[in-house]
Structure 1
């Protein structure tokens, strides 16, 4: 599984929006990897940001 899939799974398994640091702690991935995955997932329309710096799966 690549980092995008791991981040997406972490967001899907959460019942509330997560901050980048929450995702880092939940997945064990490097912060830069998580930030890149978030950007890619947002560009693909798979996640959204309900408020600044928080993310959730669509």
Structure 2
């Protein structure tokens, strides 16, 4: 599932990443990644330590 893929990419990175970087590492479209990130943020599964950066 793509949500799990994004969480996995963030865990493996070990640092906050931008949406574009997450999309490249996950091999997904950045628009799709943006939608999933919004959903994961609402669910509290990921955080945004600074603007446009995301981490687990």
TM-score, length basis structure 1: 0.90
Q: Which runs of 5+ in 2 are unaligned?
A: none
Instruction: Name the counterpart of 1:42.
Output: 41
Alpha carbon RMSD of aligned pairs, Å? 0.7
Residues in 2 aligned to 1:26 and 1:46: alpha-carbon distance in whole angstroms: 19
Query: Do the aligned residues in 2 keep the contact of 1:3 with 1:33 (CA within 8 Å)?
Result: no
Q: How does 1:15-34 map to 2 (within 5 A)?
A: 15-34=14-33
* Unmatched 5+ stretches in structure 1: none
* Structure ranking higher in strand proportion: 1
Higher helix share: 2
Q: CA deviation at 1:20?
A: 0.4
Distance in 1, matches of 2:47 and 2:32, equals 18
